[in-house]
């Protein structure tokens, strides 16, 4: 997981966590999985990237992408891992908190 610094000295890793988790769980996310071999086998990485036809997997606005991803992770956390999230720590510039406040992620 990579962290990026914010002007206020805090770090934000939310989107990167989503990319890593989704990348390993989605069958069609070839490009993300290919990144794991880029350092060790650049030729194989180049071959995968050149031959792969990427698919669009999100049809709404980019502004809602982060909140939709977090909501999806929250909703499946119980069935997949037996985990209930009690707190959400955000970076203050996303729409995630209002979405989680309106939509109950757990049954």
Kindly report, residue by residue over 42-95, the tens digit of the pLDDT: 898 888 878 877 677 778 888 888 888 888 888 888 888 898 888 878 877 778
H helices present in the chain, as ranges: 14-25, 30-38, 42-51, 65-81, 96-102
pLDDT value at position 59? Answer: 82
3-class DSSP state for residue 5?
strand
The whole-model pTM stands at 0.50
| Contact yes or no for 33/41 (Cβ under 8 A) | no
3-class DSSP state for residue 57?
coil
pLDDT value at position 91? Answer: 78
pLDDT value at position 63? Answer: 80
pLDDT value at position 61? Answer: 85
Give 27's DSSP letter.
Answer: T
pLDDT value at position 30? Answer: 65
Residues paired with 5 in a beta bridge? 11
């Amino acid at each position: 997981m990579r962290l990026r610094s914010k002007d206020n000295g805090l770090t934000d890793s939310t989107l990167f966590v989503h990319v890593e988790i989704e990348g390993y769980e989605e069958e069609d996310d070839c490009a993300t999985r290919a990144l794991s071999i880029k350092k060790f086998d650049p030729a194989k990485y180049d071959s995968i990237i050149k031959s792969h036809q990427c698919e669009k997997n999100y049809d709404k606005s980019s502004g809602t992408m982060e909140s939709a991803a977090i909501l999806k992770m929250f909703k499946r956390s119980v069935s997949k891992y037996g985990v209930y999230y009690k707190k959400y720590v955000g970076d203050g510039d996303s729409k995630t908190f209002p979405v989680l406040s309106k939509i109950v992620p757990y049954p």
